[in-house]
Structure 1
Amino acid sequence: CQEKGGNLKSQCGHASYDCVPYFQCVDGVINTDGRGLIDVRILPQGVCSHPEYPDVPGVCCLIPGAPPTPPPVDACPAYLECVDYSLCSSNDQIITDGSGLIDRRTGHTSCRLPSGIGGICCAPPTPYIDTCPGKSVCKPKLECLGQALDAKNSFVDFLKASTALWTECSFGGERGICCIPPPPKVIDLCPGESVCVQPNECKGTALNDLEKFVDYSSQGSWTYCSAFDQGVCCINPYIKPDLEPASECGVRHYQIDKRITGKIDASFGEFPWQGIIFYQNYTFNCGASLVSNKHAITGAHCIHKLLASDIRLRFGEWQVNSFDEPLPYIDRNVYAIHIHPKFNSKNLHNDIAVIELLEPIDYQYHINSICIPSYGQIIDPYTLCVTTGWGKDSFHGSFQHILKKIEVPFIDHDTCQTYLRKTRLGKYFKLDESFVCAGGEENKDACYGDGGGPLACKSGSNYYLTGITSWGIGCGTKNIPGVYADVQSFSKWIEDIVRKPGSVKQVQEPNQKPGY
């Protein structure tokens, strides 16, 4: 309501009453039916004035049908004090500067002052501080999701005590409240086109604690993602990557320029040697690794019963259900299949095959070779290697759309054999020398559909094809490593095929000698 001279109801102190000439008020209620003359018992002293009847005393009279005035309460609710009507502002706060008459609105709670006269429940003046204490920061009320400093100098849950009075502070020229943010939210998957990056790598917008994308700054409050310690979900301005092919084998690309939905998703072109073996009807068969511009290596168990004309290979693939990747994939038909002569299909000993492509491949940013290890190359136990593929996440899982990467520790031969003897293989099982092992951590393993794909281990700045995904007992079970064909033990056989006279090929070499 308005002050005196504005809304007439404001002079009466309650919305249920209006100011009318005294002769229109019968027994305290406005006469609306026009019956007869009003029985004026006495000439009352005017308690209000009506502009249409300036010379007639006015009285505050109950509007017909208006709700009854609630009875006064003995004590006001928390954070409110009982004061005279004239001391309560239109904002329901006690007037401290002596400003004029107030505009009383509906909803006041009536009360009694110690003197016995009537009053209304009104909030005391809001405290104000220049600097918020402790870990609290000055925020607009609508942005406070944690605890806020109330008028009694205590921090209480803002959302659960929204009717409380708060200590105010200055926020960008506006009034705010001192708020302690809740613990940061941590998510596994970033929404939309955002990518989980380290904070210093975010140059665009990031997901804040209110789940809105705003310009990133180190002073903001953010929703964190689990791929990095305090990683943020960021949408960086698109910068076209350097799409020139690497000049040596085994170069992994870490640049992120496409959406990554989880910690195990590879980025586009991250593992440029990764290949897919399809049947001619494009049904998925196995993984493969490009080792020259005309040769790929896979597991013998994938193709030992097939002819060259039964399959074709694809390189440069990343997200198998999408066609909007930065660069296209390449398909190649097969000229010849070379199965290791000592391959045993029953126990998978010597599980390696070399595929010779019908036409050579031009190396590109996302299509390139992995280095072949030299014979006798040794890897230290528990060295972290990477296995990749689109296989199922477990034997009861589903095939993946985006290329997956799993870091697994390299396990020495004897330790691996000891672990495997504790499975259904029994205590007399002998792990053949044609195998190496990696993994043994729960839920981190190559799985069904990853067969034939690479186990890549890094030496210096280059990755080497250390193993070929072969077999395991279950998938991702603790203390049961995955088993891979040992590529270094076949290096001479591989070189005889890849470097044979007359073969059109390009084998890239690392810049430095292997250094395991």
Structure 2
Amino acid sequence: MKFAFALATIAAVVLAQDDVAPDNNFIEIVGGTEAKVGQHRYLAGLKRSATATTSCGGSLIAPNVILTAAHCTGSGLTTVVVGSHFLSGSSDGELAKVTKEIRHPKYVASTNANDVAILLLDRSITTIAPVAVSFETVPADVVTWVRGWGRTTSGGIQSQVLKEVSVTTWSNAKATTALRPYTVDNTMLAAGGKQGEDSCQGDSGGPLTIEQNGVARLVGVVSWGIGCGDLNKPGVYSRFNTARAFIEPYLKKKNLRVPYLVSEFAEETDEVVADSDVVSALEGGN
């Protein structure tokens, strides 16, 4: 299930992987197989309403926080279904409303640099465990996984069920050469490039994970690409190691590994889970 996705903001040939565009521009996983039901419930589908189909993907990283792509924001995707296996409906998942969209402050729509965003929900998701977020620097030749409900072929129809495919990472230099005239900068991670296996329209914002012993750690989100599943044309994801200062304030305390300052990006009224003890110490509190 490979992405045939690309950023709509870059150029007509490069399609964004989200539901920001009309329904016929959604990106979906190309190739791959149906994911096991109930195994990846941290995945979220972003929709325009509870009865609409999923237009962008996301991941639950804290009880009331979804991590997605910045280019999925600002387009009326105000409803989130977490834990569902299906493109439509919410009976097997948890439904919530988006109360706030927070784009990375250095997001650049024309290049898709820093293409990450936080969605705050109107309620905590209590029956589904958030996925662990990793800020490791992912090198080339690492096997990763991508999942979503995007198109199964470039310009085709969306998958009715959650699909998954494994994609191997590239170096940024090699990916930039393969995707000219577009640049894969240090905020991005390329993966894939096998014929017929990729993310595609509709997969935008969905998770890129590394998995060991059945445990997933989130290292990126679907961002852009040229076509879907074309040979030697990897999909491009947003890296988390360069977005750590933005993402980390929204993680649960037990997942934190270094101190951070919430106040740089979050507001007191956001009601996100934060390590108040660490923040107090860094700000000179007792």
Higher relative contact order (CA 8 A, sep 6+): 2
Name the aligned partner's letter for residue 296 of structure 1: I
Larger radius of gyration: 1
CA offsets per residue over residues 186-214 of structure 1, 9 Å max, x none? xxxxxxxxxxxxxxxxxxxxxxxxxxxxx
For residues 183 and 272 of structure 2, what CA distance do their matches in structure 1 show? 40
Separation in 1, partners of 2:32, 2:147: 13
Q: Is the 8 A contact 1:292 1:506 kept in 2?
A: no
> Counterparts of 1:112-511 in structure 2 under 5 Å?
264-280=33-49, 282-303=52-73, 305-306=74-75, 311-320=78-87, 328-363=92-127, 367-374=128-135, 377-421=136-180, 425=181, 429-459=182-212, 462-498=215-251, 500=262, 503=271, 505=273
Which whole-Å CA distance do the structure 1 matches of 2:242 and 2:148 have between them?
23
TM score, norm. by length of structure 2? 0.73
Percent identity between the aligned chains?
27
Q: Distance in 1 between matches of 2:241 and 2:213?
A: 17
Query: What amino acid sits opposite 1:382 in the alignment?
Result: D
Equivalent residues of 1:360, 1:504 under 8 A apart: no
Partner of 2:21: none
Please provide the CA RMSD for this pair.
2.4
Superposed displacement of residue 463, structure 1: 1.5
Report the Cα distance in structure 1 between the residues aligned to 2:274 and 2:250, rounded to whole angstroms: 13
Letter in 2 for 1:331: L
Deviations 1:224-272 (A, max 9, x none): xxxxxxxxxxxxxxxxxxxxxxxxxxxxxxxxxxxxxx96011111212
Tell me which amino acid in the other structure corresponds to 1:388.
R
> 3-state DSSP class of the match of 1:388?
strand
Partner amino acid, structure 2, of 1:334: V
Structure 2 segments unaligned to the other structure (5+ residues): 1-30, 253-261, 263-267, 276-286
One-letter code of the match for 2:57? G
Name stretches of at least 5 consecutive residues in structure 1 with no aligned partner. 1-261, 508-516
Is the 1:373–1:491 contact (alpha carbons within 8 Å) kept by the matching residues of 2? no
The question of whether the paired residues in 1 share the 8 Å contact of 2:149 and 2:160 is answered with: yes
Count of residue pairs the alignment pairs up: 229
Match of 2:33, SS state, is coil
Question: 1:312, CA displacement in angstroms?
Answer: 1.0
| C-alpha distance in structure 2 between counterparts of 1:381 and 1:306, whole Å | 33
Contact 1:456 1:466 in 2 (8 A): yes
CA-CA distance at 1:487 after TM superposition:
1.6
* Whole-angstrom CA distance in 2 between matches of 1:436 and 1:489: 11
Q: Give the alignment's TM-score, normalised by structure 1.
A: 0.42
State the alpha-carbon separation in 2 of the partners of residues 487 and 378 from structure 1. 8
CA contact (8 A) 1:386 1:406 kept: yes
